[in-house]
A and B are shown apart, each in its own frame.
Chain A
Amino acid sequence: DAGVTQSPTHLIKTRGQQVTLRCSPKSGHDTVSWYQQALGQGPQFIFQYYEEEERQRGNFPDRFSGHQFPNYSSELNVNALLLGDSALYLCASSPGTGVTDTQYFGPGTRLTVL
């Protein structure tokens, strides 16, 4: 059983560009959350998708948007990239939205903005 997969592994962009990151959840999971992990910090919650809708959002600007597809996979889009957007972006999937539903994390996409 494949776990959570993310693509690409690494990405280099320049300021002002747009980027799309992709996530495939663990089999049987219908909920996907995205986190940003800056260097030397813990992950910060960006948003969560369930039933193809954004259900909850952290303290991130509208430049961060997402999508969930009928097969539960998800995309994270970031527009007008800033240097401060450089980070490891983690996707986590779970079998539900409740706090008791364990989140399984993917290996992440490392985004570098120059």
Chain B
Amino acid sequence: AQSVTQLDSQVPVFEEAPVELRCNYSSSVSVYLFWYVQYPNQGLQLLLKYLSGSTLVKGINGFEAEFNKSQTSFHLRKPSVHISDTAEYFCAVNYGGSQGNLIFGKGTKLSVKP
């Protein structure tokens, strides 16, 4: 079955430290990959997406992610986090080419401490 696994439910880090949020998906011939962020009491905001082309994708707020087909991963990274990055992050994978085939992971709560 198609699935998305976010390996860490919570990630605490100190301000200005680097962070990596991990995401793995079940293998498929064609996938489209997304990272969303959800701040408290708000909807989801798209951080970045991989549709095709370069495997290193840059997004908003200094985040980037790398598509690794052999490891079926799409990890999100930021070299230096801020307090304002505290939020929940969702990895999502589209397996079928239509929006309804978008499957979300369970989310990773990033807590940035001063």
Contacts and interface: CB of A to CB of B under 8 A. Distances in A.
| Chains A and B are bound partners | yes
Nearest to A31: B99
Given A99-B32, A99-B94, A105-B43, A42 B105 contact: yes
A104 B99 CA distance: 12
Interface in A59-107: 90, 92, 94, 97-107
A99 B106 contact: no
A44 interface: yes
Contacts of A106: 43
Interface in A19-70: 31, 33, 40-45, 47-48, 55-58
Query: Interface extent on B, as a size class?
Result: 20 to 34
A45 to B, nearest CB: 5
Contacts of A43: 44, 90, 104
Interface residues of A, number: 30
Interface string B38-76: 000111111001010000000000000000000000000
B21 to A, nearest CB: 13
A75 B97 CA distance: 25
A101 B100 CA distance: 12
A89 to B, nearest CB: 11
B92 interface: yes
B94 A42 contact: no
B28 interface: no
Nearest to B97: A99
Most buried by B among A31, A47, A98, A107: A107
Contacts of A94: 99
A58 B104 contact: no
A41 B105 CA distance: 8
B15 to A, nearest CB: 26
Interface of B: 4, 32, 36, 41-46, 49, 51, 90, 92, 94, 97-102, 104-107
13 contacts: A41-B106, A42-B92, A43-B44, A44-B104, A45-B100, A45-B101, A47-B100, A92-B44, A97-B98, A99-B99, A101-B99, A103-B102, A105-B45
